Amino acid sequence: MYLRKHKLIVFIFLCLVFVPFFLKYNKNYEKNRFIKNLYFNLPIFYSKRKLCINYDLLINKYLDKTISFSLIDNKGNIISEYNSKIARIPASNQKLLSTGYVINKYNNFYSLNTKLSRDNKNNYYIDGSGDPDLNLNDIKTLINNIKYSKSINITLYEVKKNIYWPEGWTSQDKLYKYGSPITKLAINSNASNYINIFELKNYIYDYLSAKFPNSEVSVQIRETSNDLKRKTILIDSIYSNSILSLLTLANAESHNFTSESLFKNASDTWNKNSYKKLYFWLKNKGLPINDLYIADASGLSRNNRVTTNLIASFLHKMRFNNNYEFYASTLSIMGMRGTLANAEVNNNLNGKFFGKTGTLSNVYALSGYFHKNNKIYSISIIQNSSFIDKLKIFKFLNELYEIDECK
């Protein structure tokens, strides 16, 4: 037993020492999925600074003390940075981190499901998983499986009221659909006609009372808890779109509910608002987590604090994940799709920048990948200021793309 443990420690040590150098000097490493994914999962991040004067000139032209910026080249070199270690509010750039966690956890074609089950006393239970596209027709499909009985009892499992919203979501946020509560049985969460659990309860009661006028119908809401598990028979399920499709909704369209729901499913934290698993996942990848504070998965909370150094480093390391191509495909595309479809830049960046915007009052963030000369650069820009200048940030990105490469 001792010898086996000793060998394991030696193996891990050798991986920590030699994998970074293998990646640096082996030109064909990109074809070796095993080596790439091994590096992604190791608690190391190999990078070095290779600062270039031509980038510094652009920084002096466009950036000020309210802006942080990091740029990492194809090989992992930090080739330009500015205020990169100042932790700032990232807005929806937070989704880059949480969706990375999700895609690393799930098969890309896995689906969330909403289930109707029945126990041996003929009581029915509906349990959801935060499907953002769940609608009343889906609910009708489920409850149409309920058979006539003199007494029909249905329990809806839902999260506790005190964790409907993550820490830092303001009362103003909660008035709009982008701040809708994060619940397991939300109806039309991706539309303006959002229906909460109490309206759903009334809908089910009215529908079944009309269908079975001679039955006594009872619908109750119960907070989900581990001690509520009981022996039941699955009657029917409604499946969501694939995880890949939902991640695209979260990233390209910046849908807050979806990013929160996906993270809660992936981290098994429906019964609490906790993001420690994301924090330690990033830490265990050897990434620079200095001053990192995670209050939610979507970035709507003003309590989040992230550095551009972390975001750019994370984006670069994600390129070694087996699901990188799928991850990148969920992002907005400059001039073509998502929140970057109508970005004010020239045609040179159209179709070549895959990224994520982030917008809150006094916050603007732009992070992602740009493709140039068959190389992929990882970039992060965050501004926290009462005078946000998006046009300046896009001009900076545009000139950054057009400048001669660092030699």
pLDDT category at 66 given cuts 50, 70, 90 is very high
Q: What's 192's DSSP letter?
A: S
Whether residues 317 and 263 share a domain: the answer is yes
Contact 324, 343 (CB under 8 A): no
Neighbours of 328 (CB within 10 A): 19
Q: Which residues are bridge partners to 376 per DSSP? A: 371
* Stretch 336-352: mean pLDDT: 84
pLDDT category at 52 given cuts 50, 70, 90 is confident
Q: Which two tokens stand for residue 272?
A: 């609490």
Instruction: Give residue 15's pLDDT.
Output: 53
Residue 16 counted as domain residue:
no
Whether residues 273 and 386 share a domain: the answer is yes
Whether residues 120 and 201 share a domain: the answer is yes
* Stretch 258-271: mean pLDDT: 96
pLDDT digits (tens, 9 = 90+) for 247-259: 999 999 999 999 9
Instruction: Give residue 279's pLDDT.
Output: 98
Contacts of 170 (CB under 8 A, 6+ apart): 179, 302
Instruction: Give residue 177's pLDDT.
Output: 86
State the average pLDDT for the chain.
89
Whether residues 250 and 231 share a domain: the answer is no
Which residues constitute the domain of residue 286? 26-107+246-402
* Stretch 120-126: mean pLDDT: 92
Q: Which amino acid is at 192?
A: S
Contact 368, 358 (CB under 8 A): no
* Overall number of domains in the chain: 2
CATH number, domain containing residue 49: 3.40.710.10
pLDDT digits (tens, 9 = 90+) for 24-34: 545 555 556 78
Q: How far apart are CA 125 and CA 157, in angstroms?
A: 7
Instruction: Give residue 79's pLDDT.
Output: 94
Helix axes 33-41, 308-318, angle to 10 degrees: 150
Instruction: Give residue 227's pLDDT.
Output: 42
Whether residues 350 and 264 share a domain: the answer is yes
